[in-house]
């Protein structure tokens, strides 16, 4: 349904136009009239008018002036000018101001209704264009969320293991993805915060990390999407029109820059570089990257997917030497030897979580044996929550392992020294008595 405003200083002409409008040809629910420009402006300012039928020459202002006023205010109203004159000057001005037609008085009913039908067609197109624009804007807002849902389903849903299932999901979500498109994933993991952060500051840091990703991985050659897997892991998905522009050197440089950027906000991270993958193989590539992440125990690394095949070759820990030093009370020297061993592990570049788990087991065996030789139960000193927490975290990185080793040796030596001290006092008393009898 449409609204029409008729503007003419002659009421007879207004009534004539009203009577010849074919309501069967164009649906009209509101028909307004005005005798001068001022009345017309008031109606146009207070109501939505779809079509304006306006006389050109009126005592208190021309129809051209009314059109200029409407244009200044970005009015969406379609205008048709009515006049008794055939002066081309008016027609030219009317066209310049966006008028859709120009009719001579007395208005021919057939011509008027033809123009109104034309106006209806224009209005329908404008309405459809607005609807499409609104839909596009809405889709633009929600597309990142829909795409995030798509990638998470693809990564986590075991039922999407066939191309048919993936195709069905793509069609159902109506997303701009095809089975032959290639994507490049990078896994970013937050390994630790260098400072203890409140929940709010942690959120701020995560936001800064996302901003860094967008800044560093913004290129004309590809688009970037960030998918949050959990509180520590993010998938950076790069999509390319020309994949040949991508090089390993380019990826490594950008990932190293990202690591440095995160370090500036007191956050240790590592990047795991994947490989080109179609949607059907995407989850398999992510699984390999997750394995790399789980095995990595060195902070601030950039590791490529082909490094998954590397095998670490390192010497076994010299627990005999460390035990000897601890028995002699040389706690500092023992720690120095242990940390030299850690440096050797780090230099190999192949150390992983499995090796740290084995080291933790060997180290605990050494400590338990040392305690047993001093008739001390390990449960007496290692049962507190803090010690248990440090032990659990020890396999996360070389740094965490070092913290746990220091803590464990300190508690062990303090307990051994506490046990030996009373015996030393007893021996001193015995010696004193023997000398003075």
Percent of the chain with pLDDT over 90: 47
For the record, the structure tokens of 142 come out as 């929600």
Q: Scanning the structure block, which residue is given the tokens 């913004």?
A: 218
Contact 350, 314 (CB under 8 A): yes
Does the pLDDT value for residue 432 go beyond 50? no
How sure is the predictor about 84, in pLDDT bands with cuts at 50, 70 and 90?
Answer: confident
150 exposed, middle or buried (CB, 10 Å; 0-12, 13-18, 19+)? buried
Does the pLDDT value for residue 342 go beyond 90? no
Q: What are phi and psi of 165, to 5 degrees?
A: -65, -40
pLDDT of residue 420: 65
Which of 34-38, 78-82, 160-164, 391-395 is predicted least confidently? Answer: 160-164
d(CA 244, CA 246): 5
What would the pLDDT profile of 122-135 be if each residue is shown by its tens digit? Answer: 999 988 888 888 77
> Of 21, 73, 77, 16, which is closest to residue 51 (Cα–Cα)?
77
Q: What is the mean pLDDT of residues 198-211?
A: 92
Contact 52, 32 (CB under 8 A): no
Q: What are phi and psi of 273, to 5 degrees?
A: -85, 125
* 312 or 53, which is more confident: 53
d(CA 345, CA 366): 19
Mean pLDDT across the chain: 86
What would the pLDDT profile of 85-108 be if each residue is shown by its tens digit? Answer: 766 677 777 777 888 888 888 899
Does the pLDDT value for residue 424 go beyond 80? no
Tell me how far CA of residue 394 lies from CA of 204, 355, 388, 403, in angstroms: 27, 12, 10, 8
pLDDT of residue 143: 81
């Amino acid at each position: 349904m449409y609204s029409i405003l008729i503007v003419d200083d002659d009421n007879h002409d207004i009534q004539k136009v009203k009577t010849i409008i074919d309501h069967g040809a164009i649906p009209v629910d509101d028909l307004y009239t005005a005798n001068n420009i001022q009345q017309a402006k008031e109606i146009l300012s207070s109501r939505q008018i779809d079509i304006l039928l306006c006389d050109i020459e009126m005592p208190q202002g021309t129809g051209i002036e009314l059109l200029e006023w409407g244009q200044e205010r970005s009015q969406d109203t379609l205008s048709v000018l009515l006049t008794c004159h055939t002066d081309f000057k008016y027609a030219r001005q009317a066209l310049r101001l966006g008028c859709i037609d120009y009719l001579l008085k007395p208005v021919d009913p057939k011509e008027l209704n033809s123009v109104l039908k034309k106006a209806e067609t224009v209005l329908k197109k404008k309405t459809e264009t607005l609807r499409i624009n609104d839909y596009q804007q809405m889709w633009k807002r929600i597309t990142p969320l829909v795409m995030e849902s798509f990638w998470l389903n693809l990564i986590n849903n075991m039922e999407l293991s066939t191309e048919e299932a993936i195709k069905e999901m793509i069609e159902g979500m109506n997303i701009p993805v095809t089975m032959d498109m290639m994507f490049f994933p990078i896994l970013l993991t937050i390994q630790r915060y260098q400072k203890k952060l409140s929940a709010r500051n942690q959120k701020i840091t995560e936001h800064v990390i996302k901003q860094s990703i967008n800044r560093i991985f913004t290129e004309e050659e590809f688009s970037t999407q960030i998918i949050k897997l959990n509180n520590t892991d993010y998938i950076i998905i790069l999509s390319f029109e020309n994949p040949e522009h991508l090089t390993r050197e380019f990826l490594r440089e950008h990932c190293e820059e990202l690591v440095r950027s995160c370090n500036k906000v007191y956050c240790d991270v590592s990047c795991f570089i994947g490989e080109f993958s179609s949607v059907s193989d995407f989850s398999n590539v992510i699984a390999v990257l997750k394995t790399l992440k789980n095995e990595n125990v060195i902070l601030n690394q950039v590791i490529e997917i082909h490094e998954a095949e590397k095998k670490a070759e390192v010497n076994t820990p010299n627990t005999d030497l460390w035990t000897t030093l601890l028995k002699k009370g040389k706690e500092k020297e023992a720690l120095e030897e242990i940390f030299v061993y850690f440096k050797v592990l780090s230099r190999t570049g192949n150390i992983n979580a499995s090796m740290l788990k084995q080291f933790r087991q060997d180290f605990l065996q050494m400590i338990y044996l040392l305690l047993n030789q001093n008739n001390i139960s390990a449960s007496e000193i290692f049962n507190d929550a803090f010690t248990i927490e440090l032990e659990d975290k020890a396999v996360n990185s070389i740094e965490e392992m070092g913290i746990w080793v220091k803590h464990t040796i300190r508690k062990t030596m303090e307990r051994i020294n506490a046990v030996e001290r009373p015996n030393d006092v007893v021996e001193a008393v015995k010696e004193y008595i023997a000398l003075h009898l």
